[in-house]
């Protein structure tokens, strides 16, 4: 096969780009496969990159040379690798380089069969050659090879693993039982009016799952790292959140918080404040390559609409939820999405808690309901946060501190499961402890 000088330079620039920015490997793995490189040395280098990344190793020239010191000759030698590492495209045109590489691969596949077709006499062999070439070209647009047998083997393996726990437990037992735990491949949406406690619930669940040793990302467009970690510490250590965030702590409490945060760090818990959805998805994939990833939380969807295509906010949110559901399936992770509820929900009336807030009350997009596997509404009577209102209702005999209805008990939060593709719907009740940013079982 004749390879032009331009193609060689292109492949060198792609390899060089990966040397300089490991995160670009996420994009590369979405578009290209090792066999698309025309130069065998470049194929081997790319395979070596993916091998290092899967083992959680940082890829740079020094680490690469050290890790593959016994195979350097097969990878082009020290001098060649050094030259390639210094030739790289900008991040802005890296993806276009990858697409050109795919086009070059397709072109070579077609050129390679021309002499074979010319010499081929038997019609059946001619057809087989054409079909095999076309299959290679079609599969070049599919990063993962289609393997039907493997699909069934994976399912049967899952089916017979009776002793293996499935999903991640939130620590809120009634919720875990209703959902069948937090499972990979699912998009689970929590929605509520502002100030009800959706972030508090999500952060507590994220903390509990991290403590169990799973890999967790918490993406927030509203709170910084100090606030997220502060809420986690308040919930776990029984320290009022206001004292943590205002730094009115005893030394002993600081030491407890320090130990708790160190534990989160050791479990690779990650907080992201990236609100560009494209960059966030790349960040998620990069984290997963390096650490593995089990579950992530996004707080909340409306904060991620900037730069998303669509004529209306509803269309933009629909695009985001569709991408997140696709991400959950392809990356085999659980995604918990937070969403706002319309103000009109405050006017809802009815004898049942499920009348207080429904899936129709989700703000700005019906697509959230459509794309979500499970949909959970959170309800608290926020009016009871006001001491004057609370006292007035108490005097009128309208409060019941033992009730599991949030409209009657200021220390209760209801979770209404509005949609559940994998179980029953219904209303759950938990104790609300706003002072410690925590939800407890009754």
Tokens of 151: 């699909």
pLDDT at 159: 72
Tokens of 51: 């091998």
pLDDT at 332: 92
In sequence order, which residues have a C-beta less than 8 Å from that of residue 127 and are 6 or more positions away? none
pLDDT at 342: 76
DSSP symbol at 240 = -
Higher pLDDT, 334 or 388: 334
Compute the average pLDDT of residues 402-409: 90
Q: How confident is the model at residue 120 (pLDDT cuts 50, 70, 90)?
A: low
Residue pLDDT, tens place only, 150-194: 777 777 776 777 666 688 999 999 999 999 999 999 999 999 988
Instruction: Report the percentage of the chain scoring pLDDT > 70.
Output: 87
Residue pLDDT, tens place only, 266-313: 999 999 999 999 889 888 988 887 888 999 999 989 899 888 888 888
In this predicted structure, the answer to whether residue 340 has a pLDDT above a threshold of 70 is: yes
pLDDT at 54: 82
pLDDT at 133: 67
Beta pairing class for 334-340 and 187-192 = parallel
Of 216, 219, 377, nearest in space to 301 by CA: 219
Compute the average pLDDT of residues 350-364: 68
Of 240, 295, 229, 239, nearest in space to 264 by CA: 229
Q: Name 271's bridge partners.
A: 218
Q: How confident is the model at residue 105 (pLDDT cuts 50, 70, 90)?
A: confident
**Architecture in CATH of 5-148:** Orthogonal Bundle (1.10)
- Does an H or E element contain 229, and which? helix 225-237
Residue pLDDT, tens place only, 232-278: 999 999 999 999 999 999 999 999 999 999 999 999 999 999 999 98
Q: Name 362's bridge partners.
A: 341
Compute the average pLDDT of residues 307-322: 87
In this predicted structure, the answer to whether residue 118 has a pLDDT above a threshold of 70 is: no
Q: How confident is the model at residue 121 (pLDDT cuts 50, 70, 90)?
A: low
Residue spans per domain, the chain:
5-148, 173-440
Q: How confident is the model at residue 94 (pLDDT cuts 50, 70, 90)?
A: confident
Signed CA dihedral, 393, 396, 401, 405: sign only: negative
The CATH code for residues 173-440 is 3.40.50.300
Tokens 């290092």 correspond to 52
Q: How confident is the model at residue 354 (pLDDT cuts 50, 70, 90)?
A: low
Distance CA 143, CA 132 (A): 17
Contacts by 280-286 with C-beta closer than 8 Å and gap 24+? 280/219, 280/304, 281/323, 281/327, 282/23, 282/26, 282/27, 283/23, 284/217, 284/327, 284/331, 284/333, 285/26, 285/331, 286/22, 286/23, 286/25, 286/26
Residue pLDDT, tens place only, 129-147: 666 766 666 565 555 555 6
In sequence order, which residues have a C-beta less than 8 Å from that of residue 373 and are 6 or more positions away? 186, 187, 188, 419, 421, 422
In this predicted structure, the answer to whether residue 353 has a pLDDT above a threshold of 80 is: no
pLDDT at 286: 82
Tokens of 392: 């007035």
Cβ(75)–Cβ(41) below 8 Å: yes
pLDDT at 341: 84
Phi, psi (5° rounding) for residue 216? Answer: -135, 140
- Does an H or E element contain 57, and which? none
pLDDT at 142: 52
pTM of the model: 0.73
Of 219, 224, 189, 377, nearest in space to 298 by CA: 219
Tally of CA atoms within 13 A in the half-sphere of 65 that contains its CB: 10
For 94, 105, 297, 311, 313, the CA distances from 14, given in Å and listed in that order, are: 7, 14, 33, 36, 37
In this predicted structure, the answer to whether residue 379 has a pLDDT above a threshold of 70 is: yes
- Alpha-helical (H) ranges within 58-145 are 61-67, 77-85, 91-119, 123-139
Cβ(37)–Cβ(11) below 8 Å: yes
- Does an H or E element contain 2, and which? none
Distance CA 289, CA 26 (A): 8
Residue pLDDT, tens place only, 32-84: 888 889 899 999 999 999 888 888 888 888 889 989 988 998 899 999 999 88
Residue 270: helix, strand or coil by DSSP?
strand
Cis peptide before 255 (omega within 30 of 0): no
Tokens of 182: 């937090």
As a whole number, the mean pLDDT across the chain is 86
């Amino acid at each position: 096969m004749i390879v032009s000088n331009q193609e060689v330079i292109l492949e060198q620039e792609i390899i060089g780009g990966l040397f300089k920015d490991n995160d670009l490997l996420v994009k590369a793995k979405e578009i290209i496969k090792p066999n698309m490189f025309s130069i065998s040395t470049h194929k081997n280098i790319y395979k070596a990159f993916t091998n290092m990344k899967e083992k959680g190793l940082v890829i740079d020239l020094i680490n690469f040379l050290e890790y593959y010191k016994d195979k350097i000759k097969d990878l082009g030698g020290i001098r060649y690798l050094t030259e390639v590492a210094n030739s790289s495209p900008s991040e802005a045109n890296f993806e276009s380089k990858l697409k050109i590489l795919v086009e070059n691969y397709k072109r070579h596949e077609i050129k390679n069969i021309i002499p074979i077709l010319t010499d081929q006499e038997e019609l059946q062999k001619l057809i087989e050659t054409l079909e095999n070439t076309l299959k290679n070209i079609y599969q070049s647009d599919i990063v993962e090879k289609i393997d039907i047998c493997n699909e069934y083997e994976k399912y049967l393996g899952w089916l017979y693993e009776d002793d293996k726990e499935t999903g991640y437990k939130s620590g809120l037992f009634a919720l875990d039982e209703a959902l069948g735990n937090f499972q990979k491949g699912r998009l689970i949406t929590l929605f509520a009016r502002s100030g009800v406690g959706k972030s508090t619930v999500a952060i507590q669940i994220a903390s509990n799952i991290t403590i169990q040793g799973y890999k967790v990302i918490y993406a927030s467009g509203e709170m910084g790292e100090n606030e997220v970690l502060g809420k986690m510490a308040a919930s776990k250590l029984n320290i009022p959140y206001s004292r943590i965030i205002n730094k009115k702590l005893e030394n002993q409490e600081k030491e407890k918080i320090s130990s708790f945060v160190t534990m989160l760090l050791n479990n690779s818990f990650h907080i992201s404040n990236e609100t560009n959805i494209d960059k966030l998805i790349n960040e998620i994939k990069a984290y997963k390559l390096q650490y593995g990833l089990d579950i992530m939380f996004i707080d909340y969807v409306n904060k991620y609409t900037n730069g998303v295509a669509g004529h209306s906010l509803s269309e933009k949110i629909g695009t985001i939820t569709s991408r997140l559901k696709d991400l959950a399936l392809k990356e085999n992770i659980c995604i918990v999405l937070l969403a706002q509820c319309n103000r009109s929900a405050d006017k809802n009336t009815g004898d049942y808690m499920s009348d207080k807030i429904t899936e129709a009350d989700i703000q700005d997009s019906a697509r959230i309901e459509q794309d979500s596997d499970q949909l959970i509404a959170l309800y608290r009577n926020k009016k009871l946060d006001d001491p004057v209102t609370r006292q007035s209702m108490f005097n009128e005999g309208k409060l019941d501190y033992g009730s599991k209805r949030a409209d009657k008990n200021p220390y209760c939060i209801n979770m209404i499961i509005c949609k559940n593709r994998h179980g029953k719907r219904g209303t759950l009740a938990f104790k609300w402890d706003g002072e410690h940013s925590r939800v407890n079982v009754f």
